[in-house]
Structure 1
Amino acid sequence: MLGSIESFVSDFVLRHPLNRLPGGGSGAMFDAPLVGCAAADDELFDQYKQIIGFFHLTPRELVAAQQESWQPRAVISWILPSTEAVRTANAQEATFPAYLWSHMRSRGEDINMELRRALADFLREQGGQALVPQLSPAWQKFEDTPVGIASSWSERHAAYAAGLGTFSISDGLISARGIAHRCGSVVTSLEVEVTPRPYSFHGEYCLYMRNGTCLACAGRCPVHAIGPAGHEKDICNGYVYGTTQQALEGRYDLPQIGCGLCQTGVPCSGRIP
């Protein structure tokens, strides 16, 4: 089953008409996706209530929130890696994101949201039930928690559970194709092969968290929101959704501008360092 899901996700992304760089060229925003699966009853989803907060929902709670009674069995997660062209453009910037990066952040997330819905439909066509956590009536964003800004479902934590990567000191998820990506997930009642987690430490792929070296991401942050103690979410959020959005939304004409400077021009941008 996982193989057919991987094929569906890959075909959807690589053939999507929006998966193109602006300007009419032939280049793409995203390379071939990575796909993984975690068991819906994996103890990690219960542990996230302690790691992230009591408000973080389990797959069972997501089903209940939709007033449905089916048994969730699998969480399908994916990574949409940005292409070298997108990463290179942003790596050349020091204050605000490159247009190619912002285009990927905004139009690429449009693709990602379409993929969430399309994969849920595909899983239903295979005879299962499915839901999209990001579209759940129970999905909420919380501005003030012990871990800073958080939500009731973390796509990066779902990807970690599904064996797709580990966290960085900047709070990003470093996958086999690096940290510069979009990610998403769908919960289903179907039995799907679980992807092994090839790591034993949540920061295993980050050079700083692994052995105390690097911190290149900290040097890339224009507002010094990253350091040895981690990621200052409030400072980062203010810069991305305040300063950067206000500076570039008129020029770029995109609903989401993003930033991504800490995810480009660094050793983990397109690979595990």
Structure 2
Amino acid sequence: MEELVREEIGSFVATSTENCFPDGEPYFAAPLVGFAAANDPLFADYKRIIGPFHLAPAEFLAGAATVICWVLPISRPTRESNRRQQHWPSREWSMTRTYGEQFNVALRRHLVAWLTGRGQRAVAPQLAPEWRALDDCRAGVASSWSERHAAYAAGLGTFSLNDALITERGIAHRLGTVVTDLALVPSPRRPADHRHNCLYFREGSCGRCIGRCPTGALSPAGHDKERCREYVYGAVPAAVEAEYGVSQTGCGLCQTAVPCEAAIPGSLLRPGGKRA
């Protein structure tokens, strides 16, 4: 059954006309798919790590058994266009943030309908009435469900200095989740450390995302979510919305022109521990 789910998601990504720029170039490449057990202790831990407002799978769907998670890698031409940017995201990146995420919403709904048609119950937390955004005094900018943390639980990647998820297809992507009562075999979490794929934490090298941030929201201390939000949802749309024709622009500069853009990066250290 796990392979059937992967095939259904992969087929929708490959064939949907919603996953395309006007010229036919896809927003996203072939997806990665993983599964987390709804009763994985991590989801209880997230109420401590993220905050008590973060909901467990069973709080979205009574009798939940599995969280289906996917990674939609952003297409190479779009990533290349954003590598060249220094201050604002590229037009292609911004269109992917708006129209690519609309496709991602369609994928969430499609998978829920597909599971329901097979006699299962399912819900996409991001589209459920229980989902909400909030500013928590401890967690800062947050929400009642984190698709990044669900994807980590499903073995799809580990966290980076900029708080994003570095997967085997890199950090430039969008994520999606569906909670279902269908019991699927959980995907293994191979790295022992939740930041293993980030070179800054793994070996003390890199940190290139810091220099890519045009607003100073990244530093060795981590990610200033409030400064990032003000830039992404304030300064960037004000500067490029009229030109690009989209109001949800994203930014993604720290996700491109970095070693983890499209893969888990190899070491930047020479033998003996010196920086290459």
- What TM bracket, shorter-length normalisation? over 0.9
Give the corresponding residue for 1:123.
115
Q: How far, CA to CA, are the matches of 2:233 and 2:136 in structure 1?
A: 16
Give the corresponding residue for 1:59.
57
Superposed, which structure 2 residues align to 1:24-43 within 5 Å? 24=23, 26-43=24-41
Which residue among 134, 139, 156 is the counterpart of 1:142? 134
Q: How far, CA to CA, are the matches of 2:18 and 2:80 in structure 1?
A: 20
Give the corresponding residue for 1:181.
173
Give the corresponding residue for 1:163.
155
Identity %: 49
TM-score calculated relative to the size of structure 2: 0.94
Q: Secondary structure at the match of 2:136?
A: coil
Q: How far, CA to CA, are the matches of 1:19 and 1:129 in structure 2?
A: 26
Shift of 1:148: 1.4
Give the corresponding residue for 1:12.
12
Instruction: Provide runs of 4+ in structure 1 moved above 4 Å.
Output: none
Q: How far, CA to CA, are the matches of 1:145 and 1:272 in structure 2?
A: 33
Give the corresponding residue for 1:104.
96
Q: How far, CA to CA, are the matches of 2:194 and 2:99 in structure 1?
A: 30
Give the corresponding residue for 2:215.
223
Give the corresponding residue for 2:182.
190
Give the corresponding residue for 1:213.
205
Shift of 1:145: 3.1
Q: Output the aligned Cα RMSD.
A: 0.9
1:88 aligns with 2:80: yes
Which residue among 136, 145, 149 is the counterpart of 1:153? 145
Give the corresponding residue for 2:268.
none
Shift of 1:28: 1.7
1:73 aligns with 2:71: no
Give the corresponding residue for 1:44.
42
Q: How far, CA to CA, are the matches of 1:2 and 1:87 in structure 2?
A: 30
Q: Which runs of 5+ in 1 are unaligned?
A: 64-69
Q: Secondary structure at the match of 2:34?
A: strand
Q: How far, CA to CA, are the matches of 2:199 and 2:103 in structure 1?
A: 31
CA deviations over 1:2-45 (Å, ceiling 9, x no partner): 101111111111111122234x2x42221100000000000000
Give the corresponding residue for 1:265.
257
Q: How far, CA to CA, are the matches of 2:60 and 2:146 in structure 1?
A: 13
Letter in 2 for 1:90: N
Q: Secondary structure at the match of 2:11?
A: helix
Give the number of equivalent residue pairs. 265
TM-score calculated relative to the size of structure 1: 0.95
Q: How far, CA to CA, are the matches of 1:29 and 1:187 in structure 2?
A: 24
